[in-house]
Amino acid sequence: MYWLVMSSIGKKIVMSISGIFLVLFLLFHMSMNLVLIFSTVTYDKICGILGANWYAVIATVILAIGVVVHVVCGVLLTLQNMKARGADEYKVSCKTKVEWAAKNMLILGLVIFFGLIIHLQNFWYKMQFADLFQLGSLDDKSGSQLVINLFSNPIYSFIYILWLVALWFHLTHGIWSSLQTVGLNNKIWFCRLKLISNIIATVIMIGFAVVPIYFTFYAFIK
Ligand code: HEM
């Protein structure tokens, strides 16, 4: 346990496993959001199931632990790497160029983290949190109405899309790197894994972006 936290490779393993767990959450969250485009009634039913129920609260706590572990290990690992490299720039071999995303994982991660705090204030605080602590005034609107109201403002939708672009860059490198760390790192799969990571990151980004884009135009058409 001590080794996992203290060693560089230990932190990388923890980051990979927590990262894969967060990607699975994103795929679930994205699929749930897409329901809203087809039926507000079904979406609100799902929100009810994921509201102030003991199993939903346990899932939220596990998710929060996953986010904290991932962020703390990411910051520690980057600081450790910077110290080890000293004044040297990222080493670039003659054949492979280090991608922009790979060099900026910490900055991208922090943009996603601070965006997440705003996002939780926009929705989770007004839904599950308000439900749990019976803050009636916050609970007046249904989940679907909260989402539709927020994204009827094109400025908000634009900010969310910028946030999703940062998420895309973070995921293209993050998924690939996690899969390598957990052992899928032979030569044949090197480029295939890069392609698979790009596909998963793109599906997640487009799946999330559809909702703000749809409700921005929905407000204009109405
Ligand atoms: C732009 C599309 C998105 C929409 C419309 C959306 C909507 C929502 C809503 C309505 C909730 C509250 C659900 C509830 O409490 O029952 C929520 C919670 C949450 N969202 Fe999003 N979300 C989006 C993108 C994202 C992204 C990109 C991330 C991660 C980077 C994210 C992370 C979370 C987390 C961690 C929670 C709390 C989950 C929990 O309570 O267990 N969301 N989102």
Distance of alpha carbon 30 from alpha carbon 63, whole angstroms: 15
Closest CA relative to residue 128, chosen from 79, 56, 203: 56
Distance of alpha carbon 108 from alpha carbon 106, whole angstroms: 5
Distance of alpha carbon 198 from alpha carbon 188, whole angstroms: 17
The structural domains of the chain, ordered by start, are: 2-221 (1.20.1300)
Distance of alpha carbon 149 from alpha carbon 64, whole angstroms: 26
pTM for the full model?
0.90
Query: For residue 160, which atom of ligand 1 is closest to its CA?
Result: 1
Distance of alpha carbon 48 from alpha carbon 56, whole angstroms: 10
CA distances from 208 to 28, 43, 51, 142, 204 (A): 11, 15, 21, 20, 6
pLDDT for position 59:
96
In short, whether 168's Cβ falls inside 6 Å of ligand 1 is no
Distance of alpha carbon 138 from alpha carbon 75, whole angstroms: 34
Compute the Cα dihedral for 54, 64, 141, 167 and give only its sign: negative
In short, whether 208's Cβ falls inside 6 Å of ligand 1 is yes
In short, whether 160's Cβ falls inside 6 Å of ligand 1 is yes
For 96, other C-beta atoms within 10 Å of its C-beta total 8
Q: Which two tokens stand for residue 49?
A: 């199931």
Distance of alpha carbon 175 from alpha carbon 20, whole angstroms: 7
**Nearest alpha carbon, ligand 1 atom 1:** 208
Alpha-helical regions (H) of 86-186: 100-103, 105-119, 130-132, 143-151, 154-181
pLDDT for position 81:
84
pLDDT for position 86:
65
Closest CA relative to residue 149, chosen from 50, 36, 52, 51: 36
Question: For residue 85, how far is its CA from the centre of ligand 1 (angstroms)?
Answer: 37
Does residue 124 have a pLDDT over 70?
Answer: yes
In short, whether 151's Cβ falls inside 6 Å of ligand 1 is no
pLDDT in tens, 25-46: 999 999 999 999 999 999 999 9
Q: At what angle do helices 54-85 and 8-38 cross, to 10 degrees?
A: 140
Query: With bands split at pLDDT 50, 70 and 90, how would you rate the model's confidence at 149?
Result: very high
Q: Which two tokens stand for residue 151?
A: 């994204």
In short, whether 30's Cβ falls inside 6 Å of ligand 1 is no
**Probe residue for ligand 1, chosen from 26, 108, 123, 157 as the CB with the greatest number of ligand atoms within 8 Å:** 123
pLDDT for position 75:
93
pLDDT in tens, 191-221: 889 999 999 999 999 999 999 999 999 867 7
The identity of residue 99, as a single letter, is: E
pLDDT in tens, 41-63: 999 999 989 888 899 999 999 99
**What contacts 62, CB < 8 A, 6 or more positions away?**
none
